[in-house]
Structure 1
Amino acid sequence: MTAQRACGVGDVAVSSAVRVELDGVAIAIVKDSAGDIHAIGDTCTHGEISLSEGFVEDDAIECWAHGSQFELRTGKPKNLPAYEPVPVFPVTIDGDDVLVDVQNPVKL
C-alpha cells in the first residue's frame, strides 16, 4: 500500500469532513456519526462541488448545493441528481495519523 498522511485523527470532528489534496487528488476525509473515518473523492459527480463542505449524516455525506448524498463506504449516490459514484480510498489509522492510499481506490 502506498498510503500517505492525510491529516490527524483529531483534525476531523464526528459528523464532519475536511478537504485534503494528495498527489493532486482532492479527498474528503470524513468522520461518520459512529466515529469511523472514510476517504472519498471530494468532488460531487453532479456539479463539481466540494463534498467536504457538505453535511455528514450517519454513513453518508450530502452535497450542499444540490442535495445528492453519497455512501461513505461505497461512494455510490443514494439519490438524484447525482448518478455516478465518487471514488473511495483505503484508510489506515496509525497512531494519530490518518493514512490514505490514493493510488489504489477501492474497487466495488
Structure 2
Amino acid sequence: MALVRITALSPIPVYLDEAITAGNMAPRPGTLDGKIVGLLPNWRPSAVHILRAIGTLLEERFRLKAVVMEQPVPEVPLRAGKLIDTMREKLDDFAKRVDVAITSTGD
C-alpha cells in the first residue's frame, strides 16, 4: 500500500487563542472530564445534527457529567435588532448551567 501524505492548511494566519492577550478570552479547562458541555445551535438546518455528532464524540472521549442541547433559534429576528440582543437572557442562563459551551452553524 502506498504512503498517503496529506497537508492541512488553515486560512487563518494566526490562531486567536495564541494571538489574543490573556484575559480577553474565556478560560479553557484542562480537561472536559466531569464537566457539563452545552451545545448551542443557531437557526441553520444542520447545526443541531453537527452538535449532536460532536456531543457523541465528546461523550466517547471524556467522562462528561452531562451534555445539554439548547433549543435552536427558530429564525433570525432581524426586525428586532441584533440577534445577540434578543438572546441575552437566554445566553446568560445557558452560561450559568454549563461549564463549556460549543456553538455551531450548519447549512
TM-score bucket (shorter structure): under 0.3
Query: Whose relative contact order is higher, 1 or 2, with alpha carbons under 8 Å and at least 6 apart?
Result: 2
TM-score (norm 1): 0.24
Indicate the structure with greater strand content. Answer: 1
TM-score of the aligned structures, taking structure 2 as reference length: 0.24
Greater share of helix: 2
